[in-house]
Structure 1
Amino acid sequence: MTKLQTEASRQSGLIQSLSSWLRQSMQVFIYGVGAWLTLKGEATAGCMIASSIIMGKALAPVQMGISSWKSMIEARGAWSRLDALLSDLDKRETMELPPPQGNLQAEHVSFAVGLVPILRDIHFSLNAGESMGLIGPSGAGKSTLCRLLLGLWRPQHGTVRLDGADIYTWDPQALGPWLGYLSQDVELFSGTVAENIARLGNVDSEKVITAARRAGVHEMILNFPLGYDTPVGEGGAVLSGGQRQRIGLARALYGDPRLVILDEPNANLDEEGEAALVRAFAALKSDGVTVIVVSHKPTLLSGMDKILMLKGGQIALFGPRDAVFAKLMEAQNTQRPEGRVAP
């Protein structure tokens, strides 16, 4: 892989150097011919300068095309992948299934990007209403696993099942209302607060307010200039990072989701926002919603039923919360140098 990248960079640099040399050589040639014709009285200095400008304009698109060739290749590759994904969506099983209860199983799931493995042999199960904290170092595959559990991506090996059915074969339109997802990078759409919480569908005022209350943002939204009708701007530009995240949480809780996955939901939250998040977890648990939370803060994970720790794309630890935390504490104490007292 490194050898191919080095060869591609070398070829790209060579082509750009040749194009630059060709353009400068042509300019010198034009000036030379123009000067020779001017001395012979067959052209003027203005004609020489005009010819140089015309030649530069003619060669500019060629050089621009060469310099942007890499971007065009990447755009073509992205279009091919997107076309394949959308074509695959059209082939999904469309038979209507009953509303899910939230029983989730990952059966020896593996996923790779190209030749690079991201997840290997991930297997666990959660009963409806159980909660799980997902922890691990950066790059361990936590966000990738979240997308697989939601059926957004298909694993190369293994199956993710929701109530016994392969979640990837569910009709996305039918499954969507039963899922809630908050990604690391919260993306809001140009529209009002209510429209974003309602997932850009028909705004049901009662459901929107219920979701906002469950997320603990009802009072915050009422303080906006137009309340729920406040435009958020493209990408939520008029809101702070914490406000976007809390509205994104309300969007994830909109309706009656049976599986909610939150990826670093406290990344931009203050103490008030974290307290509201903990209350939201308790409400989801009482409603029998299956919850998965990616976080490293003990305050958020203290109410989880189970903990799954990823390391290097594999399961390092999985089990009841107290048992996993006890093993982590034991490992930390073992690694601590002898004679050193823990702070």
Structure 2
Amino acid sequence: MLPVQEAEAMLQPWEDDQPVLFFSDERERLQHMKGQTTNGNRDNLTRTSRYLNFYRKHPEIHWAFLAHMVSRNAGYYMTDLRGSLLSNVLPKGVQEDFFSFLETCNAAIFEDAYPQLMLYEEWKEKGSFHWGLLSKLQVSSFMKPFWQAFFKSGDSNLLTTALIINEQMLIENRIVSQWMEQKELTRWLFTLQDSLGFTSILFPYGEEPSLSLAGDTIYGFDDVHARIVAGKKLYRILFHPHIHQSSLRYALIRRHTASRQDYWPRVYSNDPASIRTLYSPRLVDVWPDAARLPYPSREWYKGDPSEIKEHLLSIPPPGSFTLTKRWKRAVSGLIKSASKKR
């Protein structure tokens, strides 16, 4: 994507090149964007839907589809906490804490990213750019040069990578680092990660009704740089020629309910009375309220590119990205275990 020297040049601190004062129409536009963001950030279902709707209108913004698919996975993990997968493994209090953590991280990303998407839509339609609006919407100064570069070059890969870096550094600075200090929850996370693949991100693809699963597992969730690398790998996987079109077709056809029944109805069911499948509830049935943790609203980028410039470099496509067999083995074991308990 970028040589190191060019990456360093882009990451220099910048100042707003627009007046600080609000104009009346500008104030109304910002209030509208904030209102739309609040409405879209009601829960995992609304966030996931907004990302897909945006991508359908603006397919050059690859990040929106990646965000949609990752948001689907966040929903799966939220409902796993109350389904056959984890409800008997985790104490109820830990389930609630994990849900709040997942909800807070994903809500913080939407709160930051969705206004950027709305600004892009406006800029694209009008052909005029008011870069100072980014800071007025509390978007990190890190993002300005990448939006500017995108309008000049149309480089979807670079913009997607910048958004991946920005959102992971944002939640690291505001949420993850503080949450990881809770040793009991951290212990549970590593237990789940090692034994159940709790940090695997899955992209259904292929032909109905037996969809295959592509994706990757994020090891070392407490390491922001590992999450950024994983995000870049997931992007390469999702937009791989063998994956992208059928995964998009799945997303457009299958409305997201956050139940894993959405992609494997022969294995999972949102009916708790089903005896032949694993119970994977819908989000609305088990988490009707989106409880979030408080987090500070602060700038993460201090103008030092040293810790992130290498993340702007391209990575080779993954040699292998199918997780179908692995997940079938894991699910078969869970079904056998559940059958013995009945």
TM norm structure 1: 0.24
Please tell me whether Structure 1 or Structure 2 has the larger radius of gyration of its CA atoms. Answer: 1
The one of the two structures with greater contact order (alpha-carbon pairs below 8 A, sep at least 6) is 2
More helix by share: 2
